[in-house]
Amino acid sequence: SVKCTSNVQYSITPPPQETSHLAPIPLNGNSVLLISMSQASQYENDSKLVYDMNHYLEYFGHAKSLCDKQNVCRAEISLDVDADRDNVVEKNNPNKGSWKWGSNGHGAILLVNCDSERKYWKKPDSEENFVSKVSDLKDMSVMVLRTRGPVKLPEGYKLTMHISQGDAEKGKLYNYFVKDYPLVLSSEVLSQEVPYIGGRAEMNFYVEGLRFPDKDFDGLISINLSLLEPISEVRSGLPETPIFTDKVVFRVAPWIMTPNTLNPVEVFVCSTSDNYQFLKGMKNLVTKSGYKLKICHEYVNRGDRWMQDELEFGYIDSPHQRFPVVLDSPRDGKLLDFPYNELLGPDFGYVTRVAERKDVSSLDSFGNLEVSPPVTVNGKNYPLGRILIGVAFPTATKGRNMTKVVQDFLWAQKVQEPIALFSDWLLVGHIDEFMTFVPAPDRKGFRLLLASPDAGYKLFRGLQKDGHGQAKLFEGLKDEEPITVDDILSHDSFQAENNYVQSCIDWNRDVLKRELGLDEDDIIDLPILFKLEVEEDKTYRAVAFYPDMVNMIVLGKNLGIPKPFGPKVNGRCALEAEMCCLMEGLGLSCTFIDDFASYHKLLGEVHCGSNVLREPFAFKWWNLEM
Amino acid sequence: SVKCTSNVQYSITPPPQETSHLAPIPLNGNSVLLISMSQASQYENDSKLVYDMNHYLEYFGHAKSLCDKQNVCRAEISLDVDADRDNVVEKNNPNKGSWKWGSNGHGAILLVNCDSERKYWKKPDSEENFVSKVSDLKDMSVMVLRTRGPVKLPEGYKLTMHISQGDAEKGKLYNYFVKDYPLVLSSEVLSQEVPYIGGRAEMNFYVEGLRFPDKDFDGLISINLSLLEPISEVRSGLPETPIFTDKVVFRVAPWIMTPNTLNPVEVFVCSTSDNYQFLKGMKNLVTKSGYKLKICHEYVNRGDRWMQDELEFGYIDSPHQRFPVVLDSPRDGKLLDFPYNELLGPDFGYVTRVAERKDVSSLDSFGNLEVSPPVTVNGKNYPLGRILIGVAFPTATKGRNMTKVVQDFLWAQKVQEPIALFSDWLLVGHIDEFMTFVPAPDRKGFRLLLASPDAGYKLFRGLQKDGHGQAKLFEGLKDEEPITVDDILSHDSFQAENNYVQSCIDWNRDVLKRELGLDEDDIIDLPILFKLEVEEDKTYRAVAFYPDMVNMIVLGKNLGIPKPFGPKVNGRCALEAEMCCLMEGLGLSCTFIDDFASYHKLLGEVHCGSNVLREPFAFKWWNLEM
């Protein structure tokens, strides 16, 4: 027999044979009595159930019944997140416990709280164990504990939240409900009881990421909620057991780089005692283009002018918040404090990877870290482009490389799958010495520009043929011996050096065509010559012979190009004329900036000496099909 | 003008305007002269080309032309593997440089050469730097260098093979062509010149895997071949540059476990001074079932009878070879040398993971490592089943766990995605104490059997009701006090303990239903009672009260079940009768084996004391859709 109060329902499977209404129900050995309550209780144990049989009780679904022989009650509990990525924490999303990429995907998103709400005594917020300002909550993901049930839970039952040790190193959780947002879960507290508020209630929690995805962290963090049942009053000392667990999963947002085709926001350069000419050129260009120029003064840069090399700008994005994040290079020149001291701040994040000094080489400067515009390769879409880094040649048994911790970090972000190019053939060893991308109105929306000694020789031979063999490079430059076109073309050894350079660039051209899905018509060869210098280990490595025009700054349709000081024909530099001719077809305007003494002679150019903070992609990374 | 010998072709793009046949061809500034050779050369520089113009030469495709102003020749070179997985190394598969899962996938496969061709002085073959026997080549993947071209390459050109440092730690490569199969590439030699054989030639290489996929190794290994061009005679000291590179990718085959539904091959048990009764029972069962019984004698096992716990049988598979591989547990009881000394051999591989002693607990015994039969969960197929391990409860802030190195290994195999169950509530802590799988003719092809105190109480209450309350458990057992059904049912505290155990098993039941996509009808509850024992840290943990029938050995349709010594009704054990009744419906035959004194009293049963080598899956792991 089964008797119960009105809001308790029961059924018996398989259905028993028909009997008179009041007679006991005959059951076979496999009968199951299924008890359910359609509505949450108002009080603990407000409903009654009396049964008399050998039984199994089967608990169903997310709203579990608490059974106590005669007293039953129903509490509905769900731990909720924004699993559909619309910046609203929906109720009990069936997919909240897993994560799937793509526009049809699901799963909540967490930001590494790597900005600093405070401007003074600053520190990435994730390193604090408290919420320093209410504005910091904007950088966290809301998690809601929704309950609907009796005023209080039956005696001894309690709710706990828990996180694994591994996950707790990558994320932590604050309670909104209680004043001052105390920490609920962290690597020091893996499990904590949370209050049950009776009736229909919502309690907000705020979750922040602590670490970016990396080689040892796939980016996923789970948080669990359990309803614990007290065991037996008869038998003391028994552990509590969970009778219901809910789980939510977050993915920590990756760090995303911004290619030259995205709109600039701010341009950063260093001011030094000797770069007035360069600064003036940059200021004109940036102002004309309509962007902001930020100058890092000498008391900060201490003579280190290589703004490109110390840091890379990127951003992190979620349905609820987005801000730029600077990746600080392990290069650590005299600009080393600039990213932390000058950039980190409210809604400006900071991340770095620390390498041992001995493992850091010139290839760790971020002139050696670039990103392509969006591409499609053999049907596979890369709507956020692909990261490009320079390493030693694959056949090389020794050689310089980008340090492992930075490479691991870049690969682990996943959304801009990196490509390794060969840059160790260059003395400085940065990929920005032989390649860049510029926007284009047609085709794939951009062109790849490559330095090309062959194009250089072609141009110089043409000049010679047209009777300009005596035109001089480097004219009017202080401390620089001019050299004629005839002179350049007369040295077989110099030609051999440039053939070698061309073969190195050709190798990269093949890789870029294959990995970015480019055709020949997507590539423009720029006339640039190199020379080889022998190093102490007797290896020859290349440097640009005249200012390396490919090492430019791209600001929308305006290009800031190292002034090449090439041979003049009818009063106009033939290299500038060629450059303008190549770029004009794409609707791009060339501004040549004199960086000869202050950058070129120090083995860098315009791009090496600047950095551009750009707008993020409109495309959302979580919509990537992986 | 362009002139060339008959097997050299050229074209000019864009096509020049029509002129008289013999007049020079006018070209515009963007003209490209494309030179190609349709056939491989017979001699180096056997073809001629004379051109007179400013030019770019464009090299196409995998068969690159070697150009020397007037002398040209064509050599076709490809590094080939079995990328279509049919055990034949096809020529220049366009997908050989990448790896894709699935029946429409591609990519070559490598085995870890973890067996030992030698039976004496043995050692996994992969640890040797030579090929000890020709038969060892069967365990390696063939890679073919195919060339077609001139008798010799032009002066200074050469072929090299290379592998990255990281990949070389995971695979190495022998040359078949040269006598005695010398090592070509290894972590000591990352790059080596390989001979170019003129004409149409094939050179075989043999590649072996050194490491299984793991946390720090995704399983992919690349091998590269480059054709190096000598640079300039004019300018000495310049490095060589590759003008053509071919790449092949292998994936190292994962270690795969075999569920109870696969056919047995051999059964392993230990012989000890006190287990004659058990051995006799096992021998009868195994012989009757038609399989081989292998007995590990006492001079090897030194009294350690837990054959299940020291090792797990699995296998590795590829299109060219397949063999069993034993995973040696870090448990390292007195059976520790058995897997290496007795199992490793020709076509029987060995792998282990080493953990620090302090990190090893009872949960590292492989009674705590099982695998489900094939399942489909929410539309996702697991044709090789899913691995099951036992860990501490998710809410627990402390607790025992399976050691990280073993968990990492299991997860990294990818093809049997693991599920973590909760087993720390058991004193011994192994999942085989509360669950197993048996084959079934219907539904999903199997049933999950779960220990169930509820089912136990139901059975005993039924006995009491039917007047058998005075029937005794443990009758006739030496040194064991019999206990009546009435006695068992009279202790509230014992019931409370079993309620606790039931709640722990219910938790696992929920996880198993969800993660294996099971319905209630896929599960059978076995009447088994537990009792709690207090440990030195004052926590209570469970052990089986009478022989734990779920801890059985499954040999096809024959089950070897711990004899429960339950209460007798009409001369027949009620627990055995119930067990037979539950299994008969599935066409399974129950044999009860007396393991009381020699296993049960030492906290293990039949399954703990045996191990079964099974046939591999017919399903090929590389056909998994991931």
Q: What pLDDT, on the 0 to 100 scale, is given for residue B34?
A: 75
Q: How far is CA A335 from the centre of its chain?
A: 23
Q: How much is the pLDDT for B304? A: 96
C-beta separation of A532 from A540 below 8 A:
yes
| B497 in A contact zone (CB under 8 Å) | yes
Q: Which residues make Cβ contacts (< 8 Å) with residue A247, sequence separation at least 6?
A: A79, A96, A97, A222, A223, A224, A225
**pLDDT value at residue B564:** 98
Residue B291 in tokens:
């399989």
Residues of chain A contacting B458 with CB distance shorter than 8 Å: 54
Residue with the two structure tokens 């003074």: A120
- Tell whether A87 lies on the interface with B, counting CB pairs under 8 A: no
Work out the end-to-end distance of chain B between its first and last CA atoms, rounded to an integer number of angstroms: 56
Instruction: Please give the Cα distance from A434 to A422 (Å, whole number).
Output: 11
**R_g (Cα) of chain B, nearest Å:** 33
- A50 touching chain B per CB within 8 A: no
Q: How far apart are CA A330 and CA A355, in angstroms?
A: 6
pLDDT of residue A52: 56
Residues of B in contact with A396 (CB under 8 A): 191
Give, as one character, the DSSP assignment of residue A197: P
Q: Does A166 touch chain B (CB under 8 A)?
A: no
If one counts every other C-beta atom within 10 angstroms of the C-beta of residue A129, the result is: 11
* Of the candidate ranges A424-433, A498-507, B311-320, the one whose mean pLDDT is the lowest: A498-507
- Give the residues of chain B that fall short of pLDDT 50: 53-68
Token pair 């399954």: residue: B607
Grade residue A362 by pLDDT with cuts at 50, 70 and 90: very high
Q: Mark yes or no for CB contact A395/B226 under 8 Å.
A: yes
pLDDT (tens digit, 9 = 90+) per residue, A317-332?
999 999 999 999 999 9
| Reduced 3-state DSSP string for A16-32 | CCCCCCCCCCCCCCCCE
| Strand, helix or coil for residue A451 | strand
Judged by CB atoms closer than 8 Å, whether chains meet at B540 and A56 is answered as: no
From B303, B373, B310, select the one nearest B336 (Cα to Cα).
B310
* A78-101: b (≥16 Cβ within 10 Å) or e: bbbbbbbbeeebeeebeebbbbeb
Specify the DSSP element, H or E, that contains A276: helix A276-289
**Token duo for residue A43:** 């009080």
Considering chain A, what is the average pLDDT of its residues? 89
Confidence of residue A25 (pLDDT cuts 50, 70, 90): low
pLDDT at res. B419: 94
Q: What is the pLDDT of residue B197?
A: 85
- List pLDDT tens digits, range A576-595: 999 999 999 999 999 999 99
Question: How, if at all, do strands B446-452 and B523-527 pair?
Answer: parallel
C-alpha distance from residue B297 to each of A264, B61, B272, B421, B614 (Å): 76, 63, 7, 33, 22
Return d(Cα B464, Cα B470) in angstroms, integer. 8
Q: What is the CA radius of gyration of chain A?
A: 33
What's residue B66's pLDDT? 44
Q: Indicate the pLDDT class of residue A30, thresholds 50, 70 and 90.
A: low
Q: Is the pLDDT of residue A395 over 70?
A: no
Taking contacts as CB-CB distances below 8 angstroms, the residues of chain A near B164 are: 394
Backbone angles phi, psi at B61, to 5 degrees: 65, -165
Polymer length of chain A: 626
Q: Which structure tokens are listed for B435?
A: 């669950």
Name which of B220, B162, B227 is nearest B190 in CA terms. B162
- Maximum C-alpha span of chain B: 119
C-alpha span between A462 and A566 (Å, rounded): 14
pLDDT, tens digit, 9 for 90 and up, residues B447-463: 999 999 999 999 999 99
pLDDT band at A61 (very low <50, low <70, confident <90, very high): very low
pLDDT number for residue B239: 74
Within 8 A by CB and 6+ apart from B626, the residues are B101, B102, B414
pLDDT of residue A165: 82
For A164, the token pair is: 């694994």
Q: Look at residue A109 and tell me whether its pLDDT is greater than 80.
A: yes
The pTM of this model reads 0.83
pLDDT for B617 equals 98
Quick check: A68 pLDDT over 70?
no
- pLDDT reported for residue A19: 62
Token match 């002085």: residue? B121
pLDDT in tens, A467-479: 999 999 999 998 8
Of the pLDDT bands very low, low, confident and very high (cuts 50, 70, 90), residue A67 is: very low
Question: CB distance from A191 to chain B under 8 Å?
Answer: yes
SS3 content of chain B, % helix, strand, coil (to 5): 20, 35, 45
Selection from A64-73, A100-109, A153-162 with the highest mean pLDDT: A100-109
Q: Does B242 touch chain A (CB under 8 A)?
A: yes
**Best residue in A165, A188, A235, A489 to probe B by mutation, most B CBs within 10 Å?**
A235
Q: What is the ipTM of this complex?
A: 0.72
Strand intervals (E) in A359-500 = 369-371, 375-377, 380-382, 387-391, 419-422, 435-439, 446-452, 472-473, 483-484
**A309 catalytic residue (yes or no):** yes
Nearest CA in chain A to B408: A216
Top-confidence range, A128-137, A494-503, B160-169: A494-503
Q: Please name which of A413, A423, A438 lies closest in space to residue A325, comparing C-alpha atoms.
A: A413
pLDDT of residue A179: 57
In chain A, which among 371-410 make CB contacts under 8 A with chain B?
393-397
